[in-house]
Amino acid sequence: MVHAINHLNETHQMGLESWVSSANGHDTFPIQNLPYGVFKPAGHQQARCGIAIGDYIIDMHKLSSEGLFTGLAGEASKALTDETLNRFMALSNNAASAIRLALSQALRIGSQHKNALTRALVPMTDVAMQMPCHIGDYTDFYSSIHHATSVGKLFRPENPLLSNYKWIPIAYHGRASSIYLSGTQVTRPKGQVSVDSNQPPLLKPTERLDYEVELGVFIGENVSPFDSVTMTHAEQHAFGVCMLNDWSARDIQAWEYQPLGPFLSKNFMSSISPWIISSEALRPFRTAMQREAQDKPTMDYLFCEQNEQHGALDIQMECYLSTAQMRQNKQPAKKLSQTSFKHSFWTIAQMITHHTVNGCGLTPGDLLGSGTQSGASPDEAGSLLELTAGGKQQITISDAEKRTFLQDGDEIELRGFCQNESGLRIGLGSVINRIIPNHSPQQPKATDEHFSL
């Protein structure tokens, strides 16, 4: 039985405490979270699936050898002995719920399994995080009406929101092979740029490098080719979420995007945070969609009452910038914006439903990007394109520095977290990347720094 998307159970209880003391009061990985990731322990070449709890990771390869779990939880535990999460993601939501419940109970104060789990704990400081799964395909949506309207005003002030926007979850297929993990350096991309409309374009590194604050949605249970998913079943195919930065070269994009949309301006890099927060962990942060009555979907296949009442997610999304000079002077990063995913015009269920309505299959590990998330106010803008009015207005970063777009040495961090009225808080962690000049044809390389969250 697949529970309603807002169904809460004992794993969500506010008062749960763990014998892993660092988890109690942890603002990212308390016992109510239990996100999934892949890591390599220090001195090991083989990747392991793990689950975060406080300042530690449960090595599921080690834990599975203890033979603690049976039934669906045991099946899930075995799937978590692989080097990626894909086999586990392919299981039913019931299997994921079973291992979440079993681990929640085993991690609570008074658990009889404390010794077995203690042997499987690895300090986060002793690991290198890896890509959580093999990403077979990647689709990037355009789900924020505030972002779409703000960008539209820059180019079409008389008609900022195109007529199809409120009818269809707009998206384009991106490049799965250029999705990288937090900590990977961003090599400034190059492409064709039109500097003067009376002259031929130039091939050059972008001068308008930008970030985009997005939510990444991982597909779990398979959608077979030529099948289509209904709104009432779409969420069962959403395994979980992460933070996603869809890096963009705005000057390259301006030249190439007509008539077929972005290409080199987007496919050089998108980056994700290493931990996948399960759909079940997000249930306490469900909320009603924020739409005017006239904006409810006219197409029946994109509407169901459960989605209207509980389809939105109140995930807080923050963006921080630190420059090379700021780091040298030991200044804290500058907070550029904060918004919530609850403002999204289209929900995760609607994205999945529309993606499959024509018979397009989805496989475990496929990634959907939400598109840039922005709110109604200027300080909720999810990109520099909006914050600087298309590069026309500089923003102050520190006493000595201003920006319209990103410079070499700049470092962008996107953070995500959820907190409800009861005070329950879980985190998505963060995705951090630093920009380096375009002086080499080599692929981007990860830095020596560990960006664990």
Q: In the numeric block, which tokens belong to residue 177?
A: 């092979």
Asked, as a colleague might, if the bond just before 123 is cis with ω within 30 of 0, I would say no
Amino acid letter, residue 299: M
User: What residues act catalytically?
Assistant: 147
What strands, in cross-sheet order, belong to the sheet with 334-340? 186-187, 425-436, 411-419, 316-322, 334-340
Collect all residues with Cβ–Cβ distance below 8 Å to 147 and sequence separation of at least 6: 371, 372, 373, 374, 381, 382, 383, 386
Q: In the numeric block, which tokens belong to residue 221?
A: 């249970």
H or E segment to which residue 173 belongs: strand 171-173
C-beta atoms surrounding 229 within 10 Å:
21
Q: How far is CA 81 from CA 63, 209, 366, 414, in A?
A: 9, 39, 20, 30
Strand partners of residue 277 = 241
Using CB atoms within 10 Å of the CB of residue 15, give its burial: 0 to 12 exposed, 13 to 18 middle, 19+ buried.
exposed
Amino acid letter, residue 366: D
